[in-house]
Amino acid sequence: MKRSIELDEVRYCSLFKCSLGAGYLLATDRGVYEIFPPFSRESENALRKRVTGLYPAAAQENSTTIKGAFLLAKYFSGEAVNFDLPLDRRRITPFQSRVYDIVMAIPYGCVRSYKEIAEKIESPNSARGVGRAMAANPYPIIVPCHRVLGYSGKLTGYSAPGGIESKKWLLEMEGASCI
């Protein structure tokens, strides 16, 4: 069961920059809470305004956001990165948590299908549920949902701005052989 979280608990944020633009990583005292990837191509000011509108208490950095922003900038420069960051999982279900653990284990440049993920969590008939978990992923890139494809290897939905084009860009950057 999902536990609620008060928005004023989301107190920390860090901006990261890359060739695509700017992104944000937000955190609570428990870990990463949400990531805004740079695909929207908003200006830094517009993105900052949107993030502070959603999370007005997020006014400072902490060690998690500083490290996370550094790692995300490295990742978007084309480096394989080990995101060893704590996640605040209170906003996700136990099913999503199991799915995200499996997806975080997919190596850089590799892909898996929704069906394979469902089988790994010992729920072989839940490929659609895996898809819904990917669509609700508040930790894109750290939980690399872009590495999860349709059963036939088809690029399917991606909930980040830019949709499938962003997913394709990430997989090409990683040198994935599926595309």
Q: Which residues are catalytic?
A: 145
CB atoms within 10 A of CB 67: 18
DSSP letter string, 105-142: TSPTT--EEHHHHHHHTT-TT-HHHHHHHHHT-SSBTT
Sequence-distant (6+) residues with CB within 8 A of 65 are 12, 13, 14, 25, 26, 27, 32
DSSP letter string, 4-57: P--GGG--EEEEEEETTEEEEEEEETTEEEEEE-GGG---HHHHHHHHHHH-TT
Structure tokens at 158: 């991606």
Q: Which residue has the tokens 């989301």?
A: 10
CB atoms within 10 A of CB 116: 17
- Residue (of 125, 179, 126) closest to 156 by Cα position: 179
